[in-house]
């Protein structure tokens, strides 16, 4: 995110599964990812199916919401999953008198964390896009 935001570098996040405490993920579930990345990094040929955008959910960052005061509160449960969307106008967070609302249809939350230090990112929102 930093390199993309500050220097215009291409960046992406791949959602691979559920966030679990360190050591509790079944690494066998990621063997194909590991194998493909190893082949890519080492310059080996990849046997990939032709790209079909319909096979993927592609998003771009819409809002970066930083915690500016100790009054910052997220207005949804702590266990809400990444990519949960809310209707336009829904107040995602408040920070004192500031309300952070959903602005676009399909806008969804990712990486919420109200417990960050003041000035740090507490929430990102994303919206559907294409890579065409």
Spot the catalytic one: 15, 60, 81, 99.
15
pTM over 0.85: no
- Residue-wise pLDDT tens for the chain (132 aa)? 678 778 888 777 776 666 677 778 788 888 988 898 899 899 999 888 898 989 988 899 999 999 999 999 999 998 999 999 999 999 999 999 999 999 999 999 999 999 999 999 999 999 999 887
84, 102 contact by CB (below 8 A): no
Q: How far apart are CA 57 and CA 106, in angstroms?
A: 12
Strands 59-66 and 73-74, by their bridges, are: unpaired
19, 12 contact by CB (below 8 A): no
Question: Which domains can be identified in the chain, with CATH numbers?
Answer: 2-53 (no CATH), 57-128 (2.40.50.630)
24 catalytically annotated: no
């Amino acid at each position: 995110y930093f390199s993309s935001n500050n220097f215009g570098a291409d960046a992406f996040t791949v959602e691979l599964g559920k966030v679990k405490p360190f050591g509790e993920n079944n690494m066998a579930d990621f063997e194909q990812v590991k194998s493909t990345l190893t082949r890519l990094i080492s310059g080996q040929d990849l046997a990939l199916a032709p790209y079909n955008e319909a096979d993927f959910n592609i998003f771009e960052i819409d809002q970066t919401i930083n915690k500016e005061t100790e009054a910052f509160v997220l207005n949804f449960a702590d266990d809400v999953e990444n990519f949960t969307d809310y209707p336009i106008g829904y107040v995602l967070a408040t920070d004192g008198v500031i309300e952070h609302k959903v602005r676009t249809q399909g806008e969804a939350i990712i990486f919420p964390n109200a417990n960050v230090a003041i000035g740090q990112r507490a929430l990102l929102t994303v919206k559907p896009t294409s890579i065409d």
